[in-house]
Amino acid sequence: MATTIHPIVLRFQGLRPEQLSRFELHRLRKQMDGYEFEPHRTRFNKLLIGSETWAKEALAEIDEMRMENFATELTKLKKRKRIGEIKKRMIEGPKDPWRPSKHGPMREVIITAHADWFETAGDQSTWRGKMAKRRREKDFEDLAIGWLTYDFGEDVVHARADRDEKAYHIHAVILPRDEDQHGRKMLIPSKHDAIRSYEHAQDIAGIWFAQAGLVRGEARAFAARQAKAAGMKGPDPVNHKPTWKWRQEVAMELWSERVELTARSSNLDAREKALVEAEDAVEANAAKVQARSDAVGAREAAAQGMADEADSVLAAAEGLAEDHFELKENADGPSLAVTETGKASNSAKALFQRVAKSKKGRRRAEGIFGRVWSAMRTRAQGEAEERLSEEFAQIETTREALLDVVKDLPPAIRQNLGTTWKAVAKQVISLQQLLRKRGHSEVLGGRPNPDHPDQAASDEK
């Protein structure tokens, strides 16, 4: 791809001393709208030649020239004894130290190049590219200072670099000090070839800035002269815009760009807001889905727990039915334990694992089957005691019948029956003790002592 050739841009603008205050307001950004420059970059502007008070110093120097010329003129008139002229000049006062002209005695110089030339130093989206642009600006700055001091010397009272506008550019002010043929100190712009001949200034600048890869601007004046000499139509004249108008157009361009950026920023803000709202909605939906998932998981866990609990109870029932488990009483209540039969059975291990899957199911099984087991045992014990009571009643009836028979026997025969009677009495006493333990002592009330049949017989007698 062919490399774009960029020309050096050089402009001269007439400047009067009374315009310096306005020039300074522009330099200090005190009379500019925010859209004409980038306020956050103003701190990068740089003073190249002169001091911060250069304008006051220049005006003071012009006043000094004015008063010095006036004093010199009065001295000469006094020597020549021109009393009338002295009075006239005293009334007129000091005169400006320059000849009246359309453009004024001073010049503002603007030196720059197209913004693209600075931007193409490197990729501006990277740090290296920005540093390359800054180096190009510094090289341009050094060349500009060299050319200004070479062509205008100490008459350059001010120069600065502006970096807060669209393109990097340099402003300079020329105060052309000189003396006329009468020895008066004057401001004479034509003393400098570059001011006297704009075409010469372009030639010199083109040669000077060729070191940076810039070329001279189009030689339109030379082309016009050649065309005129050949009887042909030359190029259309270029009407250079005044600095104020150029600044105004740049400001409008910057303002348009800023409006566009503001609109794009507003659009981006709206899109970001919509995106944030969409993200919030997605997060809310995700939270709802997560809550539902957690609820389903909790229900599934609860269902699984209930299933494990039921299976644990069923396994306990199977183990008890198959005599693999038994219920043992302890301080905390009945608890399941593996029987000797269960220890010898392979199926008991699987049943016990099912019981152990749910602690709640095991506790419930122990509670349910413990209560059932206790009720069954109580009922069986009651039935046994009832049978014992009935049997004891039968024994008592038999004993009473025997006593009735024994008491009528002779003493010798009763004595021979003592051993048999003691055996029967021993069984009766055992039954009595058992019934007392079970709370049936009322069955024994008023009964004769079986250990002393003689006593019973005596009582009967």
* pLDDT tens digits, 354-393: 878 787 777 777 777 777 766 776 776 677 667 767 777 7
- Say which residue, 420 or 179, is predicted with more confidence: 179
Q: Which amino acid is at 56?
A: K
Q: Is the pLDDT of residue 188 over 70?
A: yes
User: Can you say how many angstroms the Cα of residue 442 is from the centroid of all Cα atoms in its chain?
Assistant: 91
- Tell me, what's the pLDDT at 372? 72
Question: Any idea where the domains of the chain sit in the sequence?
Answer: 9-235, 385-460
Q: Averaging pLDDT over each range in 135-139, 296-300, 386-390, which range is the top one?
A: 135-139
Helix axes 83-92, 54-79, angle to 10 degrees: 160
Cα-only R_g, the chain = 65
pTM of this prediction exceeds 0.75: no
Contact (Cβ atoms closer than 8 angstroms) between residue 14 and residue 102: yes
Q: How confident is the model at residue 121 (pLDDT cuts 50, 70, 90)?
A: confident
pLDDT tier at 251, thresholds 50, 70, 90: confident
Fold (CATH) for 9-235: BirA Bifunctional Protein; domain 2 (3.30.930)
Across 46-78, b (16+ Cβ under 10 Å) vs e yields eebbbeeebbeebeebbeebbeebbeebbeebe
